[in-house]
A and B are shown apart, each in its own frame.
Chain A
Amino acid sequence: MTIQRDEVLKIARLARLELTDAELASLGDDLNKILAYVEQLSALDTTGVPSLEHAAEAGDTWRDDVSRPSLPRERGLAVAPAVADGCFQVPKIIE
């Protein structure tokens, strides 16, 4: 399985990445190498093998429903490029 330039473009667009032609070509090569590497698995007969979502064994890694202090608001907002009225400010969202 190999992917073409069109698909690399689509993936880039979904990730909101703007790529030059050279970058598209080189990333396409990289992606195809990764796919070829994973492709080796299809040589195995996996009939009846359940899918694996996670490498670790499932277990109870819960948190109790007890609240903990939140971040002071100024600290949470400090990393934002624009802030107003205690909110993150962004270009107008058109719905």
Chain B
Amino acid sequence: MKYEVVIGLEVHCQLSTNTKIFCGCATTFGNPPNSQTCPICLGHPGVLPVLNRKVVEYAVMAGLATRSTISSPNVFSRKHYFYPDLPKGYQISQFDKPICEHGTIEIVVDGTPKRIGLTRIHMEEDAGKNLHEGLGDVSHVDLNRAGVPLLEMVSEPDLRSPEEAVAYLKKIRTLVIYLGICDANMEQGNLRCDANISLRPVGREKFGTKVEMKNMNSFRFLKQALEYEIKRQAKVLDEGGTIVQETRLWDTKRGVTESMRSKEEAHDYRYMPEPDLLPVVVERAWIDAIRQNMPELPDAKRERFVADFGLSEYDADVLTVSRELADYYEAAVAAFSGDPKTTCNWVMGELAAKLNETGTPIEQCPMTAAQLAGIVQAIHSGEISGKIAKTVFGEMYGTGKDAAQVIREQGLVQVSDSGAIDAMIQSVMAANPDKVADYRGGKDKLFGFFVGQVMKASQGQANPQMVNERLKALLAG
């Protein structure tokens, strides 16, 4: 049977605040276990949580960026369950009155834009980390992460394919990076994602039974896990079986999803309003101030790049993946505005390749945007060819030299003097009289040979367009 896939995602973003959500402990990643804990995040009796103002500010930013309504007052609730990484026996989260509701996130898949509903965004505290590996019959608990602020973003079941789910997650990642509220490093786990997925026969309105999937800590794993789960569910349904509502874990090593049996017992979280925290009032004036200070968001930037610089949607999309990359590009275009498209090709081509190869983030790029613009300008003016420009780039990268200096020092200026080019062509023709005869006899393919010889004679410095023109004229006899 043909099935329609229905997917909803729950994304957890760890906020990049200096301190935890309810206490003054630092949130630094990678410090010795339990070195960033205090009576509040350890859940000692009698302590009181005090809300970190920055967390509310970041939640409002996420809400504004997704066109959500900001609720005031919004309310913290206790979610009760027992687990060793949760010292209080409950997690402080939000339940029926979250800070943001009814947002949207726009994604583009195969060139088609689509709006995905964002049910809610709420604030909560992270749990600690459990360590099992190589420990035999015990586990260890590190509570440095307990109390680190999270935003949970819950989508409507609007996603219809693994590709859409990946595009949605990428969009959230870009958004939170732009906003500067989350480092969004999936390997370090500060952007995490759970998925609800079900199938229904095409044309039927009622949703099928959904399965919750966990542990997909990369875009690739999310796609693989969803693809696997679609196949698994379709097979069960085709064979007349029923889908069990359960939580399944993606096993990255074996490439399968597996039921988490320990979680089969139905949850009863007994949510209740958190009596230790007041309802959170978000004044209109504060929201306005936050809005004023928000950076330009990726969608707006992309549209501007297309409109102002004449870039394709694709190019604009790649350049606006991160704020730093977009800023670098804009700085380069500001330094030389004559050819934004070529500047784009150089940022996405040579520069990106070099950064990738050396594992350098764009913000630590050893070549300034103005220096890169210098190369583009030299190409644009015809001073050097695109090919020579690659040599110039190689000389500049890591040495701090400007394009003009490299071109001068190495004598790489493009030869655009027709007299000099004619002289080179004539000597090549003189050295290959038989080939000249063959060409004149109708062997058109030999043209490429002559171009190659002339470029070689000029050590790559002849203006290729002029070589083409002059060769045609001189070979014609």
Contacts and interface: CB of A to CB of B under 8 A. Distances in A.
A85 B134 CA distance: 13
A87 B35 CA distance: 10
A71 B139 contact: no
B24 A68 contact: yes
B278 to A, nearest CB: 5
Interface stretch (B51-59, B115-123, B162-170, B443-451): B51-59
Nearest to B36: A70
A86 B140 CA distance: 9
Contact of A14 (B38, B138, B141, B270): B270
Interface of B: 17-19, 23-26, 32-39, 42, 44, 50-54, 56, 73, 75, 80, 82-84, 97, 130-132, 135-143, 249, 260, 262, 268, 270, 273, 275, 278-281
B477 to A, nearest CB: 80
Interface of A: 14, 16, 53-54, 56-68, 70-71, 73, 76-77, 79, 82, 84-95
Contacts of B281: 58-60
Contacts of A65: 17-19, 52-54
B35 to A, nearest CB: 5
Contact of A91 (B35, B56, B137, B273): B137
A63 B34 contact: no
B53 A94 contact: no
A87 B139 CA distance: 9
Interface majority SS (helix, strand, loop, mixed), chain B: loop
A62 B51 contact: yes
Contact of A54 (B44, B139, B140, B275): B275
A76 B38 CA distance: 7
B138 A73 contact: no
B103 to A, nearest CB: 23
A72 B44 CA distance: 15
A56 B42 CA distance: 26
B53 A92 contact: no
By Cβ-Cβ distance, the 3 closest A-B pairs, closest first, are A68-B24, A87-B140, A62-B53
B51 A86 contact: no
A16 B83 CA distance: 12
Contacts of A56: 278
A68 B52 CA distance: 13
A71 B24 contact: no
A87 to B, nearest CB: 4
A12 to B, nearest CB: 13
A21 B95 CA distance: 35
Nearest to A87: B140
B25 A70 contact: yes
A60 B262 CA distance: 41
Given A70-B37, A76-B143, 11 more contacts: A54-B278, A56-B278, A59-B278, A61-B278, A63-B53, A65-B18, A68-B23, A73-B32, A88-B140, A88-B143, A93-B84
B129 to A, nearest CB: 9
Contacts of A71: 37-39, 42
A57 B44 CA distance: 26
Given A61-B51, A92-B132, A70 B139 contact: no
Given A53-B279, A76-B37, A92-B135, A66 B18 contact: yes
B175 to A, nearest CB: 21
